[in-house]
Amino acid sequence: MPNHLVLIGGGHSHVEVLRQFALKPLPDTRLTLICQTAHTPYSGMLPGYVAGHYRYEQVHIDLRPLAKAAGAEFYETAANGIDRAKQAVHTEQHPPLHYDQLSINIGSTPNLADASGAREHAIAVKPIRDFNQRWLNLLERIKAAPAPMHIAVVGGGAGGIELLLAMQYRLAPYQPRFSLWTRGAKILPTHNTAVQKKFMQVLQARGVEVHCQAPVSAVNSSGLITADTQHHTADEVIWVTRASGADWLKQTGLALDQNGFIEVADTLQTRTDPSIFAAGDVASMLNYPLEKSGVVAVRQAPILAHNLRSALNGQPLKPYRPQRHWLALISTGDPYAVASRGPFTASGRWLWHYKDWIDRRFMRRYN
């Protein structure tokens, strides 16, 4: 019987794993991809899609041809459990699937439990795969509204700010009012001061109200409530805060960090079970506290592919060593971007075109 390698999730790491297995097939191995959607979004281009620079198909990877090229069976369903004693993955639609080796790349889920009412009244960006429909519904509501709406975005990181500016650019004909709410003393806390200053200038120039040190404790049908018990009216609340691991991971017996992400060693093997690997947002590296970012998931992919192959062949595994700083290109809605890497910053239209070139090149590898 050939070994069975099962990949759960079609995230940024697994698309590259599939591409590498397509280029160099795994001998004597059955390969299966389980993913709840056939189209996986590329996060780097999501704000550009919202801004209207890209069409849906330009920012999504179709997993079916990719899986086929890699010789993988594709199960379009969600995994919802792992029976480690029986080495079986449970899914929503199929009988338990036996594995010899498993890899998990399922991203993160929003921390809506942090604020009461957020689950019912806020629009969560994560999981990104569901965001498209929520965004299209929001567009319809804004177009149909008799007066300009007030949109509150909760989350002062790059994801929240990029998304706010992208929405503002796209919705300019409807002139909505925007506000940004963040618990931190500054926006973009993981970026340097020059980047923070640049984005404060952009937000102020575009009339966005920025509320720092304003943790949101509740959301209701008429707006949001901050920790100081003040109610602030808003027509729509968009939730882009720090996310956590999927709930079902808690029942797998795999060691999780305080945010529910799977703890992994440098080889991307889980701390608990060397036959299970994890990469991308869902993985929490024991030796490196890393920001959740598509870039990390992409960078981990070649090591993950190598290690999955080596583990099946009984060969030594390689460690993933993250860079201390990596380049983030954060767009401002219009074709303009700000570069941030450690203490370095730069901005301009040319950076947006550079980002566009990088992103399109990335997508060409998979579509």
Q: Which is nearer to ligand FAD, 37 or 220 (CB)?
A: 37
Within the chain, where are the H helices? Answer: 12-23, 46-51, 63-69, 118-121, 128-144, 158-170, 193-205, 294-313, 349-364
Q: Which is nearer to ligand FAD, 123 or 312 (CB)?
A: 123
For residue 337, give the nearest of 166, 209, 190, 170 by alpha carbon.
Answer: 166
Contact segment (CB under 6 A) with ligand FAD among 168-176, 200-208, 275-283, 336-344 equals 275-283
Type of residue at 354: Y
- Residue from the set 59, 106, 112, 118 that interacts with ligand FAD by CB under 6 A: 106
264 is an interface residue for ligand FAD by CB under 6 A:
no
| Three-class secondary structure of residue 346 per DSSP | strand
- Residue from the set 245, 260, 280, 333 that interacts with ligand FAD by CB under 6 A: 280
Rounded to the nearest whole angstrom, what is the least distance from the CB of residue 132 to ligand FAD in the complex?
12
29-48: contacts with ligand FAD (CB under 6 A) = 34-37, 40, 43-44, 46-47
Opening angle at CA 345, ends 344 and 347, nearest 5? 160
Rounded to the nearest whole angstrom, what is the least distance from the CB of residue 15 to ligand FAD in the complex?
8
Rounded to the nearest whole angstrom, what is the least distance from the CB of residue 340 to ligand FAD in the complex?
11
- Tell me how many residues contact ligand FAD (CB under 6 A): 38
156 is an interface residue for ligand FAD by CB under 6 A:
no
- Eight-class DSSP state of 88: E
| Three-class secondary structure of residue 316 per DSSP | coil
171-230: contacts with ligand FAD (CB under 6 A) = none
Q: Do residues 216 and 115 make contact, with C-beta atoms less than 8 angstroms apart?
A: yes
How is 7-24 classified by DSSP, letter by letter? EE---HHHHHHHHHHHHS
110 is an interface residue for ligand FAD by CB under 6 A:
no
